[in-house]
Amino acid sequence: MTSAIAVAGLRKSYGDHAVLDGVDLDVPRGTVLALLGSNGAGKTTVVRILSTLLRADGGTATVNGFDVAGQPEQVRGSISLTGQFAAVDQVLTGRENLVLMARLRHLDDAGRVAGDLLTRFDLTDAADRRVATYSGGMRRRLDIAMSLVGDPPVLFLDEPTTGLDPQSRTAVWATVRELAGSGTTVLLTTQYLDEAEQLADRIAILHRGRIIVEGTLAELRRLLPPATVEHVEKQSTLEEVFLAVVGSGGQAGR
């Protein structure tokens, strides 16, 4: 199978309000697809249906070859989901959160799995502190680390960098690139257009309940008139200035 996620005619309404009105989507294996749309466009609804947290009113959807409605257990065994808010236990330490997730996935050597992810996300120094003492950026990094326990073939990231400082955001971007490079399929929803430009192999725009355009960034750019050449002085962005001043290493949030 070439498609990790295949959606056809997906519909969902809340009362008289149709949130999804025939969504069609195809995500090839090992690619990153960015799902864009304004607030209330239905991006999170799509993710919730695909991750079996919400039942569609109509249409079909498969994830990793399994039907979302008919084979929910197999779908859940194939995915991980990182929502808009960090879902970590603040009473436990960072290490304990990861060990718990590894045991829930019935993995051998949960301690080693936790240690590897703590190192990967630059959380080793804070591993044995309660998560309640973590900054927002550290909690988000831990949340994404937990979603990678067990190396799921499909990962849903629902606005994963909302509220993060530039350094933590850059670290998340690096992780997504690494995942895609290793063959993980990622469906990413985001409000940040530059994030989609940086990470996505393909981009889909959801508007009024439908995917109105989908393609690579180059393909989408061809929808506009040809660019005109102008000679202007390029100024550094504020984010570039910030990272140059404080450094772009993984020390954010400490």
Helix-strand-coil split of the chain, %, nearest 5: 35, 25, 40
Going residue by residue through the chain, which has 254 residues, state the pLDDT in tens, using 9 for 90 and above.
589 999 999 999 999 999 999 999 999 999 999 999 888 889 999 999 999 999 999 999 999 999 999 999 999 999 999 887 778 999 999 999 999 999 999 999 999 999 999 998 889 999 999 999 998 878 888 998 998 898 899 999 998 888 777 877 887 888 888 888 888 999 999 888 889 998 999 999 999 899 999 999 889 888 877 767 777 777 777 667 667 766 655 444 44
pTM for the whole structure: 0.83
The answer to whether the CB of 82 falls within 8 A of the CB of 139 is: no
> Nearest-CA neighbor of 181 among 35, 32, 63, 6?
32
CATH level 3 topology of 1-78+153-222+237-248? Rossmann fold (3.40.50)
Structure token digits, residue 47: 């993710």
**pLDDT recorded at residue 201:** 94
Listed in order, the ranges of the chain carrying CATH 3.40.50.300 are: 1-78+153-222+237-248
Tens digits of residue pLDDT in 48-100: 999 999 999 999 999 999 999 999 999 999 999 988 777 899 999 999 999 99
Backbone angles phi, psi at 164, to 5 degrees: -85, 150
| CA quadruple 113, 116, 118, 121: dihedral sign | negative
Spatial strand order in the sheet of 58-63: 17-28, 3-14, 58-63, 66-67
**pLDDT recorded at residue 15:** 92
Q: What is the per-residue DSSP string for 59-108? A: EEEEETTEETTT-HHHHHTTEEEE-SS----SSSBHHHHHHHHHHHTT-S
**pLDDT recorded at residue 253:** 46
